Every structure is written in C-alpha cells, then in structure tokens.
Amino acid sequence: MALTLPPPVDELQRAVSTLRAGGLVAFATETVYGLGADARNEAAVRRLFALKGRPSTHPVIVHLHDAEQMREWVSQVPPVAQRLAGAFWPGPLTLVLPRAPGVSDVITGGQGTVALRVPVHPLARELLAAFGGGIVAPSANRYGHISPTSAAHVRAEFGDAVQVLDGGDCEVGLESTIVSCLQGRVQLLRPGGISLSQLRAVVGEVDAAGDEDAPRVPGSTLQHYAPRTALRLVEDHALVQAVASLRAQGARVGVLARSAAPVEVQTTLWLQAPATAAAFGHDLYANLRQLDASGCTQLLAVAAPAGDAWDAVRDRLSRAATTAC
C-alpha cells in the first residue's frame, strides 16, 4: 500500500457528521473511490442511488471496519465465509451472505442476501472506525460509467455535490472480487483483486460458472465501466488493420494496447499500458478516462490474455466495450 497522509481531523469529522446527517461522502479505498452513505439510513441510500442514477434493483456493498461487525448484517456466517474473511480481510474481497432481519431492501435490491466488505485502505478504515457503523459505497461515478481511482476523477463526476476524502490513487484500481457463500456452495460472482486460484487455495472448490439463480451483484450488467466514446475490443494481431480501417472511414482513433505504437500507425492517441495484469488493472480506468477525453470518435483496446490473473481486467474490458472484433 502506497503511503498516504491521513486527512485533517476536522475534515474527517466533517465527513462523519455528514454521513450521520444523511449526507454523502466520497472516499478512497484500495479498489476504487466509493460514494458513501449510512447503510442504516434508507433516505440517505436512496439519495445516493439518485445521484448516481443507479437502478433500485442493483444492490450495494456494505463496508465495515472489521469482521466482527459482519454478524450485525447476516443471519449466519458459514465456516467457509469465516475462512475467506480470515484470509483476505481487510482487503479487496466482498462476501455475499444471508441477510439478517432488519437489513433494508434498499441496499440488497430486495434480495435475501447482503454483500459485505472490510477495506484495507487506511483512509477508509479511519473513516469506518470514526463512523462506527456500516457505510454503503458503490463507485463514486455515474452509474455504468468508468469507475474513479483518484479524487480528481470523483470531482470530475460530481463537482462540489459531495465531500471527497482524498486518499491518493487507489492501489488495486479495480473493484473487489465478489464471492457468495450460500447453501454450502462458494461461487465467484465478480472477479477482482483476489484471483480464483487464491480463493481456491483457501477454501478448495469455488464455482466460477455463470448461474441464473446467483444473487445480483454490483457490476454484473452486460455493459458497465464504459467510456462515453464507443470502445471495441481487438485481438492483438488485428489491431493495426483495425486502426487503418477506422482511419479510412474518417474516425479519430484512440488505442489502449500493451505494446508501443508501430511507426507506420497513426492514431489520435495511443496508450501503452503495463504488461502485467496487476499493473494493467491499476491503470485501466485512468487510461480509459484519458482516451475518453481525447476527442477520439472510436476507441480500440487489445483484448486481455488468458489466465486467472487477467480475469478481472478481461471482465471490465468486456463490459466497457460496445463491440468486439
């Protein structure tokens, strides 16, 4: 975790007071910046949904300071969930469990489950400790658009509409891994900073297959994390030809690739992303935002390689893209 300075005490206390009064506060986590509201205040959560333009059926994740608070939100904690929490909390893992009586439909999307996470970012932990309860915190951006990984990204989305606790750039840069632990089954619902192989090393079998009966979770719609400019995924070997074809049609082309631009290829903007999965994921949303602001009329991104280290990147790119070629 990169060293970040704690917020001034008065800024932190103002954020806590805002949350307790039913207001919204954006803050850094290790994954992305979250837009926070008091998880026990239905009016505040509805206000959050309205600001984001988020559908009411789309559940949100409750962020907690420690694993002991989990029992306030769930009706039971299966042993497998305890093992996962022990291995990965605090950290970028969300657990979906049977909800406790009294947990609001507003945060669960009307489902019988609730999603919980204990973040590791020191600013998020300081805020949660000072607040003393659960904070729902979906990504601090308009629904379906590119997630923010810096305070500047949040301000570009919402201006002065919410207070922003600046914790620097997010270390992971992609949303948390989401796993359900229901009816004796462990199921991967969204890839993220914890890989499938890491999960299996702790609990054995983890089902990674899609399932119509699985709980709805954040980021599971077909199009999400998307720039406003049309984005297409391209296999590496087809990239140069795709650029040439689009330029011949008069398009201003922006490219996200894992290699430098060939000298013969002309684009409006070519971004060379890192070659490793973790570094590529860390930079992904910032790169997409830069491309989206470049004045291009068509964006191309090279498809992610195979392997579970790239699962989260592959998932985000596929949902951000309008078409693949």
pLDDT digits (tens, 9 = 90+) for 159-207: 999 999 999 999 999 999 999 999 999 999 999 999 999 999 999 999 9
Confidence of residue 2 (pLDDT cuts 50, 70, 90): very low
1, pLDDT greater than 50: no
Q: What is the CATH number of domain 231-324?
A: 3.40.50.11030
Q: Domain 9-203 belongs to what architecture?
A: Alpha-Beta Complex (3.90)
Phi, psi values for residue 233, rounded to 5°: -90, 140
**Comparing 9-203 with 231-324, is the CATH topology the same?**
no
What is the pTM (predicted TM-score) of this model?
0.94
Q: In this predicted structure, what is the pLDDT of residue 5?
A: 55
Q: H helices within the chain, ranges in order?
A: 9-20, 42-52, 79-88, 105-108, 122-131, 151-158, 196-203, 239-248, 277-292, 311-320
Q: In this predicted structure, what is the pLDDT of residue 198?
A: 97
In DSSP terms, 257 is beta-bridged to 272
23, pLDDT greater than 80: yes
Going by C-alpha positions, the residue among 172, 196, 177 that lies closest to residue 277 is: 172
Per residue in 261-289, pLDDT (tens digit) is 998 888 889 999 999 999 999 999 999 99
Average pLDDT, the chain: 94
Burial state string for 301-323 with b = 16 or more CB within 10 A and e = fewer than 16: bbbbeeebbbbbbbbbbbbbbee
Q: Per-residue pLDDT averaged across 136-161, rounded?
A: 96
Per residue in 90-120, pLDDT (tens digit) is 999 999 999 999 999 999 999 999 999 999 9
Domain ranges of the chain: 9-203, 231-324
Sign of CA dihedral 161, 162, 166, 169: negative
> Is the Cβ–Cβ distance between 57 and 83 less than 8 Å?
no
